[in-house]
A and B are shown apart, each in its own frame.
Chain A
Amino acid sequence: MVMDMIHCMMAEKFPALLGIFIEDSGLLEHARSRLSREVLHSGATRPLESVALSRQIRAQSKQVRMDFEAAAANLGLPHTFEFTQGAFFDEIAMRVEGAESLVVALAADSIAVRRAWQAASEALSHASLQTLLLAREGWSKGTNVLVIVDELATAEVVLTVAGRLAEQSKSPMSLILTGQAGEHPEEIRNLLAGLNAIKNVPVQIAAGDALHADALVETIKRTHARMVALPWNQAIRDVTLIETLLNKSSSPVLLVK
């Protein structure tokens, strides 16, 4: 699914993919403490043992690699894969240099949303990075690409990226105008009319209130969004907004710079 989205967003650019599996050093540190306890999905408990943990993580990474390479090959995208060990923040920061897009995939029951978001948003400060896609395993299959536009300055870039994705995936688009964009809907309409990327995409425009996380979650559910795209601007840099979206919604979040 993630790969499909990448392909849709960047098909014309023929991107090369770098897949990274980060073995969190913090987790290994836990294993070194004799007080650590592991509670398994079956309900059983056992001490957290570092050798066994390393083995599990290696096995997991192999599976992830196989899945990544298969998906990339299927889409015809050139790709490489790396396995690394270290702090989440640091590893992302090191590799994002020169990248155009960052995709962070989280497990369905991940409890590291905040850390992931913090690392990812930090990475967005790099000049080369244009888009950030945050996705959780098992997201619901929505039908719309939901785009939030709150200012005119960033409208074109977010509409272009989201529009490309909508056209490639043959999805309609729901456009919520809020803030400054909400006050100038005609300009947005003119902008839409001039965008080649979405000339074949059905677009529904609605006005929305100021960006509130819970309201946005409700909008995602109501519009059956398969993804929500937002511009990366000051208003949206609010940590709790994105974190709330990731915690309370199943839709992937695409931030466009």
Chain B
Amino acid sequence: MESEFGSHPKRFGLDQLPAPLDTSKLRSHCDPEQFTFETTAELADLDGTFGQARALAALEFAMRMGGDGYNTYVLGRTGSHKHRLVQDYLKLESANRAPASDWCYINNFKDARKPLAIKLPAGHGIALRDDMANLVAELRESVPATFESEHYRNRVAEINQEFEDRHKAALKELQEAAEAEGMSLVQTPHGFAIAPTRDGKLLKDEEFDKLPEKKKTLAIEAIERMTEQLRKHFQELPGWQKIHRERVKELNREFTEMAVGRLIDQLEKKYREFPEINEYLIAVRQDVLENAADFQPRQEQEYELAGIKTDGSLSRYEVNVMVEHSQRTEAPVVYENNPSVQNLLGIVEHVQQFGALTTDFTMIRAGALHRANGGYLILDADRILTEPYAWSALKRTLFSKEIKIESLGQMLSIVSTVSLEPQPIPLDLKVILIGKRRIYYLLCELDSDFEDLFKVAADFEDVLDRSSENTQSYAQLIATLARREGVLAVSKAAMARIIEHSARLVADSEKLTTKMRDVSDLLREADYWARQRSAEVISDIHVQEAIDAQIKRLDRVRTRVHEEVLRNSILIDTEGAEIGQINGLSVLKVGSFMFGQPSRITATVRIGDGKIIDIERETELGGPIHSKGVLIVSSYLASRYAGETPMSFGASLVFEQSYGGVEGDSASVAETCALLSALARLPIRQTFAVTGSVNQHGKVQVIGGVNEKIEGFFDICAARGLSGEHAVLIPKDNVKHLMLRQDVVDAVAAGSFRIFAIDHIDEAIELLTGTVAGQRDANGEFPPESLNGAVNARLQALAKARRAFGLTERNGKVPD
């Protein structure tokens, strides 16, 4: 194909240029015939994990490694089913471990504010709770029955009678003494009164006054003596009453022991292997003996409060089973998806009674750490880090190796009401944090505790190799997902299409994505379309329909942008050639959708001091990577052309009609070509678009979004009509990333579109201008008919002009 530029410094034929890529390089086709099944219904579930050997090896190491701090951070992209894989793995691992212990809180009879924690083998917690409940129920019957027995009543009656007899005897003695003293003793509402008598009748005041002095004195002395006797009697009475009470109390203990002894003895025998429980039962026995009255029927004490039935003081004999594993044969695996402080550490609940908050040990509730104790706890990193004080609480617990229940108020010392201080429970578990890579790296950098507590990183792969073996396993994985999602069986053609799409998702023909959430979504949506068409099996058509529908839902912005290009609101030429103007390619990301679009890049050149003005940077619309790319371009030009002559040109580069910011260096090849075009005054084909990064030696480097960029230019060209002249230049090292749309591949096959892979800037400029780039000869000179020669000549001319300008400035004369 000849150049359209007519006579010019020598153009070479395009058959000497790199050949366009063959269609086989544009999209790595997955052949359905490689599969031995017709549909996924024939495939068994994939046993175990696939594609995450590194992460799973790390997990296995961490779970089996003893010592402190071997908790795990599982890092990887979201959507890679980290949770599922971790949980599946831990289920297998936990099956090799014995079930965890039950943990219970019991009343501390010495200090009710500090409930005691006891550990029991799995299943024994509930047994103890039920045994204590049965004990209380039995005591409720046996204790009152004991105190209603004839035997008890008789004994009490004896004690009461003894006291009464003593009291009555004392009163009789007083009466007799009063009579002997010639006094009258009567009862008053608050005690006794004495008064002198004569002949059995009260001595009136006037009669007393008539008595001789001696008799008066005797009478008064008698009154004093009687008064003293009465006072002594009343002073002794409390002592007698105390003795009476103690004897009754001792009797109660004796009878209570009869009722209680056998029952508690049975429990002590049952739990003889558990010293803590035996200690507890001793305390229970003692408490029951001292408080037997609590077991008497007290109907008025039972009431419902907020759904909690209480029966006064007997709740102190309950057993609060915090965690129990009676139904489990393996260690616990717990996932806490709301890791607040109280959900992690547990909480002491309170209930309001008559305006006051009350609690006891029966209201202690377990947290995730309790439930997972003896096993594994899975947490989301971003959730625990955003819950107030949860992260510090977790760290503190891991460091101290005990679970201490504290409310947030207590932690922050903003609550001073007296509450419970439950005995801490020893911690024995492995924590698995799942989160993004960025969070992991931030924690490593900013949290000095993190690497002490989470020594193991389980790094999930983002991609896996698209080998034939992996492809088969991947198909089996998809079959497993399909069954799990409850979708229709997948045909082998659909499977092939899914695998191709998986490669497209990671923009690499040699890789497959491990972000299985995307694959699951595709399966479900393909299933939807299949069912819409009343199909019995998901075919490749349904898969494509799902892909197209996904794109359609998201590409409003792309459609509008392309429309504006086609309407020439955004100026993009796809015909002719222009000096210093080139079609660059950029990628826009709108939400989760990425699309490519051509961007016009222009370069202007003038006399100057070698500085390239990056207009994007000057206006703060260019990011640092973009600026770096431009500086590299500048260095390349200087190293290629400056030689022993200073660069005497000034240039400006701009992304035309770009107002939203530019980042990345994937346009640096295009920028270099635009500059060279402007320097050499050689036009660049507008039927071409270019993407690629260049280094200081002119080598073209890999860029991202190559598929979207190609498709973006293709869509514009196709909308205007493909001529066969349209093409895209991409870095050679990007060929392996190509997974282009089928319509692009078909256009290339038809010869109406081309894609070239370039390795050096010279190849790019040759394709774009149709002119030989040229190499330095033995004298260091470029061939004058070459593009580099033209560039060099222009630079020399600019240097000369600059020198002349400088001399004129100094002495007003223009040199020859």
Residues of B within 8 A of A109 (CB): 167-168, 171, 187
- Please report the C-alpha to C-alpha distance between residue A45 and residue B193 in the assembled complex, in whole angstroms: 9
Among A27, A29, A38, max chain B CB count under 10 A is at A38
Residues of B within 8 A of A31 (CB): 193
Residues of A within 8 A of B189 (CB): 53, 56-57, 59-60
Q: How large is the interface on A (under 10, 10 to 19, 20 to 34, 35 or more residues)?
A: 35 or more
Residues of B within 8 A of A138 (CB): 164
- Residue pair B202, A33 in contact (C-beta under 8 Å): yes
- Residue pair A140, B160 in contact (C-beta under 8 Å): yes
Residues of B within 8 A of A108 (CB): 164, 167
Binds A, one of B229-237, B381-389, B443-451: B229-237
Interface: A24 (CB within 8 A): yes
Interface: B355 (CB within 8 A): no
- Residue pair B186, A27 in contact (C-beta under 8 Å): yes
Residues of A within 8 A of B219 (CB): 35
**Known: A140-B157, A224-B153. Is A37-B227 also a contact (CB below 8 A)?**
yes
Residues of A within 8 A of B171 (CB): 109, 111
- Residue pair B202, A38 in contact (C-beta under 8 Å): no
- Please report the C-alpha to C-alpha distance between residue A198 and residue B38 in the assembled complex, in whole angstroms: 97
Residues of A within 8 A of B168 (CB): 109, 247-248
Residues of B within 8 A of A39 (CB): 191-194, 227, 230-231, 234
Interface: A221 (CB within 8 A): yes
* Chain A residue nearest in CB terms to B231: A43
Nearest CB on A from B639, distance (A): 115
Count of A-B contacts judged by CB separation below 8 Å: 123
Residues of A within 8 A of B188 (CB): 27, 38, 48, 53, 56
- Residue pair A35, B234 in contact (C-beta under 8 Å): no
Nearest CB on B from A189, distance (A): 26
* Chain B residue nearest in CB terms to A36: B195
Within 8 A of B (CB), among A34-91: 34-43, 45, 48, 53, 56-57, 59-60
Interface: B150 (CB within 8 A): yes
Within 8 A of B (CB), among A119-141: 138, 140-141
- Please report the C-alpha to C-alpha distance between residue A109 and residue B203 in the assembled complex, in whole angstroms: 25
- Residue pair A43, B234 in contact (C-beta under 8 Å): yes
- Please report the C-alpha to C-alpha distance between residue A247 and residue B165 in the assembled complex, in whole angstroms: 8
* Chain A residue nearest in CB terms to B233: A39
Interface: B481 (CB within 8 A): no
Residues of A within 8 A of B203 (CB): 33, 35
- Interchain CB contact (< 8 A) of A41 among B193, B223, B234: B234
Interface: B220 (CB within 8 A): yes
- Interchain CB contact (< 8 A) of A30 among B156, B161, B193: B193
Within 8 A of B (CB), among A129-158: 138, 140-143
- Residue pair B193, A27 in contact (C-beta under 8 Å): yes
* Chain A residue nearest in CB terms to B207: A33
* Chain B residue nearest in CB terms to A55: B189
- Residue pair B192, A112 in contact (C-beta under 8 Å): no
- Please report the C-alpha to C-alpha distance between residue A30 and residue B193 in the assembled complex, in whole angstroms: 8
- Residue pair A140, B161 in contact (C-beta under 8 Å): yes
Residues of A within 8 A of B195 (CB): 30, 33, 35-37, 48
Residues of B within 8 A of A30 (CB): 184, 186, 193, 195, 202
- Please report the C-alpha to C-alpha distance between residue A191 and residue B134 in the assembled complex, in whole angstroms: 51
- Please report the C-alpha to C-alpha distance between residue A206 and residue B44 in the assembled complex, in whole angstroms: 94
- Please report the C-alpha to C-alpha distance between residue A30 and residue B197 in the assembled complex, in whole angstroms: 10
- Please report the C-alpha to C-alpha distance between residue A248 and residue B150 in the assembled complex, in whole angstroms: 21
* Chain A residue nearest in CB terms to B159: A140
* Chain B residue nearest in CB terms to A33: B195
Interface: B196 (CB within 8 A): yes
- Residue pair A37, B185 in contact (C-beta under 8 Å): no
- Residue pair B161, A250 in contact (C-beta under 8 Å): yes
Within 8 A of A (CB), among B140-187: 150, 153-154, 156-158, 160-161, 164-165, 167-168, 171-172, 174-175, 184-187
- Please report the C-alpha to C-alpha distance between residue A35 and residue B194 in the assembled complex, in whole angstroms: 8
Interface: A26 (CB within 8 A): yes
**Known: A109-B167, A143-B150. Is A41-B220 also a contact (CB below 8 A)?**
no
**Known: A107-B187, A108-B164. Is A35-B208 also a contact (CB below 8 A)?**
yes
22 contacts between A and B (CB under 8 A): A27-B188, A30-B202, A31-B193, A32-B204, A33-B196, A37-B223, A38-B188, A39-B192, A40-B190, A40-B234, A43-B231, A43-B235, A45-B230, A48-B188, A53-B189, A56-B189, A111-B187, A141-B157, A221-B157, A248-B165, A248-B168, A250-B160
Given contacts A31-B193, A107-B187, 4 further A-B contacts (CB under 8 A): A37-B193, A56-B190, A57-B189, A142-B157
Binding site for B on A (CB under 8 A): 24, 26-27, 29-43, 45, 48, 53, 56-57, 59-60, 107-112, 138, 140-143, 221, 224, 247-248, 250
